[in-house]
């Protein structure tokens, strides 16, 4: 799976002038996405039901920065997203490192759109992890002293017989680990249920 992920990323192309540009423009994220080399476009990316156009984002090992997985955002012929993102490869211990680490603060979010919105709002550097489970298991990084978790404000869901908000739960588990390591941690969540920071950014852009 790791090799398939690497091949999908290597075969992908820059996003300018593609359906990926149309998608990010529709989310008011193009000015940020266009600057990130790890975000690419694949016109016929493999998936279970065949091949489809997709945004392909590298997921790099946190320890080595090698590409071990990719996040795929499948698009229709009008550049609209089809379903949820799908990861391929070895995702554990990896992240969409949309910006290089600078200084001792790092921001993390679940989806790449949410992370791009954080960057657009001048919260940098920001990485995307792709799922609540990867936020929950996000490892302590030695040279990062302050972690900011941009959690989705998920509706209540029953998981394992317990009602919870998945985004809040994952952020809490991650926060506990980092606090025990002596780090500073902040959790930010939109006030509106069902929203993430990408929704906040879109609403802000709509008011301009």
Lowest mean pLDDT among 48-52, 90-94, 141-145: 48-52
Architecture of domain 105-200: 3-Layer(aba) Sandwich (3.40)
pLDDT at 30 over 90: yes
Q: What is the pLDDT of residue 32?
A: 98
**Whether 151 contacts 132, CB under 8 Å:** no
Where residue 163 falls among pLDDT bands split at 50, 70, 90? Answer: confident
Instruction: Please state the separation of Cα 173 from the chain's center in Å.
Output: 18
- Domain borders along the chain are 2-91, 105-200
**Whether 40 contacts 57, CB under 8 Å:** yes
Q: Please give the mean pLDDT across all residues of the chain.
A: 96
Helix (H, G, I), strand (E, B) or coil at 133: helix
Instruction: Write 178-187 long-range contacts (CB < 8 A, 24+).
Output: 178/140, 178/147, 181/140, 183/140, 183/144, 183/145, 183/146, 183/147, 184/145, 184/146, 184/147, 185/146, 185/147, 185/148, 185/149, 186/146, 186/147, 186/148, 186/149, 187/148, 187/149, 187/151
Tens digit of each residue's pLDDT (9 = 90 or more) over 119-161: 999 999 999 999 999 999 999 999 999 999 999 999 999 888 8
Where residue 49 falls among pLDDT bands split at 50, 70, 90? Answer: confident
Q: How many CA atoms lie within 13 A of 146 on its CB side?
A: 9
Element (DSSP H or E) covering residue 127 = strand 126-128
CA-based R_g, the chain, Å: 17
Where residue 204 falls among pLDDT bands split at 50, 70, 90? Answer: very high
Backbone angles phi, psi at 113, to 5 degrees: -65, -40
- Three-state SS string over 181-198 comes to CCCEEEEECCCCCCCCHH
Q: What is the pLDDT of residue 208?
A: 73
pTM: 0.95
Q: What is the pLDDT of residue 158?
A: 84
């Amino acid at each position: 799976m790791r090799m398939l992920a690497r091949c999908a990323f290597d075969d992908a192309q820059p996003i300018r002038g593609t359906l990926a540009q149309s998608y990010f423009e529709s989310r008011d994220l193009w000015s940020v996405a266009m600057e990130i080399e790890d975000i690419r476009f694949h016109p016929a990316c493999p998936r279970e039901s065949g091949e489809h156009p997709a945004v392909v984002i590298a997921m790099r090992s946190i320890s080595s920065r090698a590409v071990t997985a990719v996040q795929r955002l499948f698009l229709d012929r009008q550049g609209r997203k089809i379903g949820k993102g799908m990861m391929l490869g070895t995702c554990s211990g990896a992240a969409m490192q949309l910006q290089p680490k600078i200084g001792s603060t790092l921001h993390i979010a679940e989806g790449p759109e949410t992370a791009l919105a954080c960057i657009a709002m001048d919260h940098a550097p920001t990485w995307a992890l792709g799922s609540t489970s990867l936020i929950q298991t996000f490892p302590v990084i030695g040279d990062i002293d302050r972690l900011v978790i941009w959690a989705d404000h998920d509706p209540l869901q029953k998981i394992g017989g317990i009602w919870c908000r998945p985004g809040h739960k994952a952020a809490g588990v991650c926060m506990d680990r980092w606090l025990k390591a002596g780090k500073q941690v902040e959790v930010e969540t939109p006030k509106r249920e069902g929203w993430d920071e990408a929704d906040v950014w879109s609403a802000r852009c709509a008011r301009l």
